[in-house]
Amino acid sequence: MTDHQFQFQGRAFVFGDDIDTDAIIHASYLNLTDEKELAAHCLAEISPGFVSRVSEGDILVAGDNFGCGSSREHAPLAIKGCGIACVVAKSFSRLFYRNAINIGLPVITADVASFTEEGDAILIDCITGKVGLPGKGRDFAGAPLPDFMLEILRCGGLTGYLETILKNK
């Protein structure tokens, strides 16, 4: 795999501050574990029809404290199941951030939500942390992902990473 897997280009879907895990996937769906089944209900509480508007490779953009609330992995699984390639937010709940990495969903910390409109083209480089809005001629310096997190993502998530380590022992 190449480092191109950490570069994303898609349409932006923009959300505000304090989007909690219950808003991402309602607690009534916690009996589901398949990411495609979870995806069917992703963000339905705050953005009805979200799933039908998303295309594979799109980018979710949010403000402060994205993924706050519970520690469940269902929230990043639902987002990944929709085809979202990467989540960019001004800040993340620590639990959501690590759950996302652990299930193989790239997340970048960058303050771009207030400059982004739904449907804008957005470019993400997880290695450098650069976020670009080419239609607006704007680039932002986000926080690059540490090498060990990139390696987890390269393996498809924490399970794949651990399997790789055990196989190479």
* 142-148 contact pairs (CB < 8 A, 24+): 142/88, 142/108, 142/109, 142/110, 142/112, 143/108, 143/109, 143/110, 145/6, 145/101, 145/106, 145/107, 145/108
List, edge to edge, every strand of the sheet that includes 59-62. Answer: 107-109, 86-89, 59-62, 7-14, 121-125, 130-133, 138-141
Task: Give Cα separations from 18 to 58, 144, 165, 166 (angstroms).
Answer: 21, 22, 36, 38
C-alpha 15/C-alpha 81 separation (Å) is 18
Structure confidence by residue, pLDDT tens digits, 110-169 = 999 999 999 999 999 999 999 999 999 999 999 999 999 999 999 999 999 999 988 887
Model confidence, pTM: 0.94
Structure confidence by residue, pLDDT tens digits, 51-84 = 999 999 999 999 999 999 988 899 999 999 999 9
pLDDT higher than 80, residue 13: yes
What domains, with CATH codes, occur in the chain? 3-167 (3.20.19.10)
**CA-closest candidate to residue 62, choices 75, 49, 74:** 75
Residue 76 backbone dihedrals phi, psi, to 5 degrees: -65, -30
Query: What's the confidence (pLDDT) of residue 1?
Result: 36
